[in-house]
Structure 1
Amino acid sequence: MKAIRVHEPGELDMLKVEEVASPQMKSGHIRIGVRACGINFADILIVKGLYQEKPPLPFTPGGEVAGEVLEVAPDVKGIKPGDRVMSMIGTGGLAEEALVAADMALPIPKSVSFEAAAAFSVAYGTSHVALAHRAGLKSGETLLVHGAAGGVGLTAVEIGKLMGATVIAVASTREKLDVAKSKGADHLINSKTENLRERVKEITNGRGADVIYDPVGGASFDQSLRCIAFEGRIIVIGFASGTIPQIPANLLLVKNILVVGLYWGSYAKKRPEILMGSMHQLMTWLGEGKITPHISHAEPLSNAVEALRALEERRSTGKVVVTMGAD
């Protein structure tokens, strides 16, 4: 089968499509013919050796897949060849075939394409667990989303609206803000041309945002501390800016602020019931058409490097996917 392989950590340009053996079947697993693989910023960090989890070399990046079941281990029940499934797999997704743990595979609704399914789990799962479980977002509260047109930010806008919040979207260009507006954002702030603190205070009549969703870090986090409401919650999702902020604890004390982290992938091992409960709720919304993945770039496996580069260079909005064959 064809697959992207990483033989040593490095830049994206070193990645090539290679012919490799299909993964060997294991107990409790299924083999799928991958039709689409969702690209996440973590994939770039893994390729460069900068992620907190480092798979043994050589490996195939790509942790979010959708496809058709080709083979089922003898001990797996309830899944059969030909079923359309989606799953998170950590690594191995940028390939024509992938081995998937059967208990992590979810059926794809008939109305949902392979591309949309591959763009779904990580971005929507991250935002739903962050907002519902970690921050306890309530209907009627104000949610501010940094990086609101990005892979996770855009899903936070969409889910926040579904949960009954007033959503303030923050992004760096008019085009990106328009994408956030299309997903339901009530207010838009251009991070390059507007004063975040002043605009948030204006929008909230001086109160500030109840919940702030931050996948950016750096200056965005610093500004968040100055426009959050009393007893507000800041959710730390990541550091796309490249700068990990240092928190002045006195500001937490004065406003009774809660700062919580969300590393979604750890729930698969630590609290899988949280992750899967969230995913079933999201799958219900997906099947009902209440949420719809936004995909700005779709590239074939032969051009997977361009897909990764589009995300790295922040040319994408929503999700980027790599496809293997026609849908």
Structure 2
Amino acid sequence: MRRPGAGEVGIDVAYAGLAGWPYRPGLEVAGIVRAVGADVVGLAVGDRVVAVPGGGGLAEVAIARAGLTVPVPAEVSLRTAAAVPMGLATAMLLLTEAGRFAPGDSVLVHCASGGIGRALAQLVPLLGGGRLIGTVACPEQVDAARESGYDVAIARDDFDADTIRAANDGRGLDVILEPLGTGALALDLDLDLNVAAPGARIVLFGDASGGALDPLPPAGRLIGANISVTGFSHRGLVAGAPQRVAAAIRRTLDLLAAGRLDFPVTELASLADVPDAHDPLADGRGAGKYVVLIDE
């Protein structure tokens, strides 16, 4: 394994988080600093940290930029910390930056049963949100979504614009988080536009469908309804604004350390269990956030 270069940190990985397609395996790790490169300040050998290595984290040793490596408070386990960068921190960025969330806002989350969906269920009420509605891929996921914190959870085959509005007492939603994972963009956005409140923010992220994206709606429809549609890319922030990713990681770690968040994860016992775990992630059946034990 190569030594960390300037501005980099080498980490003995204890746990690594799993993310579904299109992300490269091993984008988040938690463990112990084993070596630091030149020009690294604020981190030392032996520190407990969580990091975004940019891939390759499903290994005994990972290399990450120091700017994307954050100390883990003593009150937070490395097991939980490994789920933060692509889970709680991403959800925080989606809400507060891309979605411009404000206290009292109602929120609609598509694919609510996954890791991001569960993280949002924790954060929306903590940040003072109003009604939280989630859609899930199949009826079997409805109860789990409700148990994770959603006021209303609806299976995809059972909802339309009228159903979603009724779940919010007939009103439109203020923030709509759309991962594009359940159909053509045009169809999903048409539904989202029909359930959006005046001034709503629709956030497109993830591109979980993997297909080519259809054109956005005509500008007149957005202008007339005072609706904004914005994109969000975790990978883009890691590359172009890593300080914002690190700040979100620190903020959520502090909330975990203070006991204000309780983020359950599903632990895989070894790397041998990873391929089977990716199957439900790929087809929308995954429940919550997965981490794999690398080395205790």
Higher relative contact order (CA 8 A, sep 6+): 2
Does structure 1 residue 83 correspond to structure 2 residue 47? yes
1:176 match: 141
2:3 match: 24
1:232 match: 200
Report if aligned partners of 1:147, 1:216 keep a CA contact under 8 Å in 2: no
2:180 match: 216
2:111 match: 147
Report if aligned partners of 1:120, 1:293 keep a CA contact under 8 Å in 2: no
Report if aligned partners of 1:119, 1:321 keep a CA contact under 8 Å in 2: yes
Report if aligned partners of 1:214, 1:234 keep a CA contact under 8 Å in 2: yes
Residue 133 of structure 1: CA displacement? 1.4
For residues 221 and 41 of structure 2, the distance between their equivalents in structure 1, rounded to whole angstroms, comes to: 53
1:277 match: 247
1:248 match: 217
Q: Which amino acid aligns with 1:308?
A: H
Does structure 1 residue 291 correspond to structure 2 residue 256? no
Report if aligned partners of 1:35, 1:324 keep a CA contact under 8 Å in 2: yes
What root-mean-square deviation, in Å, do the aligned CA atoms of Structure 1 and Structure 2 show? 2.2
Report if aligned partners of 2:76, 2:253 keep a CA contact under 8 Å in 1: no
Residue 175 of structure 1: CA displacement? 4.1
Residue 37 of structure 1: CA displacement? 0.9
* Map 1:315-326 → 2, pairs under 5 A: 315-326=285-296
Does structure 1 residue 260 correspond to structure 2 residue 239? no
1:40 match: 19
* Map 1:61-76 → 2, pairs under 5 A: 61-76=25-40
Residue 297 of structure 1: CA displacement? 5.0
Report if aligned partners of 2:5, 2:38 keep a CA contact under 8 Å in 1: no
Q: 1:111 aligns with which of 40, 64, 75?
A: 75
For residues 142 and 119 of structure 1, the distance between their equivalents in structure 2, rounded to whole angstroms, comes to: 25
SS, match of residue 152 in structure 1? helix
SS, match of residue 132 in structure 2? strand
For residues 4 and 223 of structure 2, the distance between their equivalents in structure 1, rounded to whole angstroms, comes to: 53
Identity %: 30
For structure 1, the 5+ residue unaligned runs are 1-21, 48-60
Q: Which amino acid aligns with 2:45?
A: P
Q: Give the count of matched residue pairs.
A: 289
User: Residue by residue, what CA displacement relative to the aligned partner does 1:154-211 show, whole Å, maximum 9, x if unpaired?
Assistant: 212221121211211111334423232233212222222x233112221333321111
Q: Which amino acid aligns with 1:229?
A: A
SS, match of residue 185 in structure 1? coil
Q: Quick check: 194-203 or 175-184, which moved more?
A: 175-184
Distance 1:29 1:273, change over 3 A: closer
For residues 229 and 288 of structure 1, the distance between their equivalents in structure 2, rounded to whole angstroms, comes to: 34
For structure 2, the 5+ residue unaligned runs are none
Residue 147 of structure 1: CA displacement? 0.5
Report if aligned partners of 1:307, 1:321 keep a CA contact under 8 Å in 2: no
Q: Which amino acid aligns with 1:156?
A: L
User: Residue by residue, what CA displacement relative to the aligned partner does 1:219-276 show, whole Å, maximum 9, x if unpaired?
Assistant: 4333112111112110101222345343221432331210011112322343334333
Distance 1:206 1:304, change over 3 A: closer
1:189 match: 154
Distance 1:46 1:286, change over 3 A: closer
Q: 2:101 aligns with which of 126, 137, 141?
A: 137
Distance 1:190 1:309, change over 3 A: closer
Report if aligned partners of 1:37, 1:94 keep a CA contact under 8 Å in 2: yes
Distance 1:23 1:301, change over 3 A: farther
Q: Which amino acid aligns with 2:253?
A: M
Report if aligned partners of 1:148, 1:177 keep a CA contact under 8 Å in 2: no
Q: Which amino acid aligns with 1:258?
A: S
Residue 137 of structure 1: CA displacement? 1.1
Residue 139 of structure 1: CA displacement? 1.1
Report if aligned partners of 2:3, 2:35 keep a CA contact under 8 Å in 1: no
User: Residue by residue, what CA displacement relative to the aligned partner does 1:278-302 show, whole Å, maximum 9, x if unpaired?
Assistant: 2222121111222233323524123
Distance 1:67 1:251, change over 3 A: same
Report if aligned partners of 1:294, 1:317 keep a CA contact under 8 Å in 2: no
Report if aligned partners of 2:81, 2:253 keep a CA contact under 8 Å in 1: no
Distance 1:229 1:98, change over 3 A: same
Distance 1:62 1:273, change over 3 A: closer
TM (norm. structure 1) is: 0.81
For residues 36 and 245 of structure 1, the distance between their equivalents in structure 2, rounded to whole angstroms, comes to: 38
SS, match of residue 280 in structure 1? helix
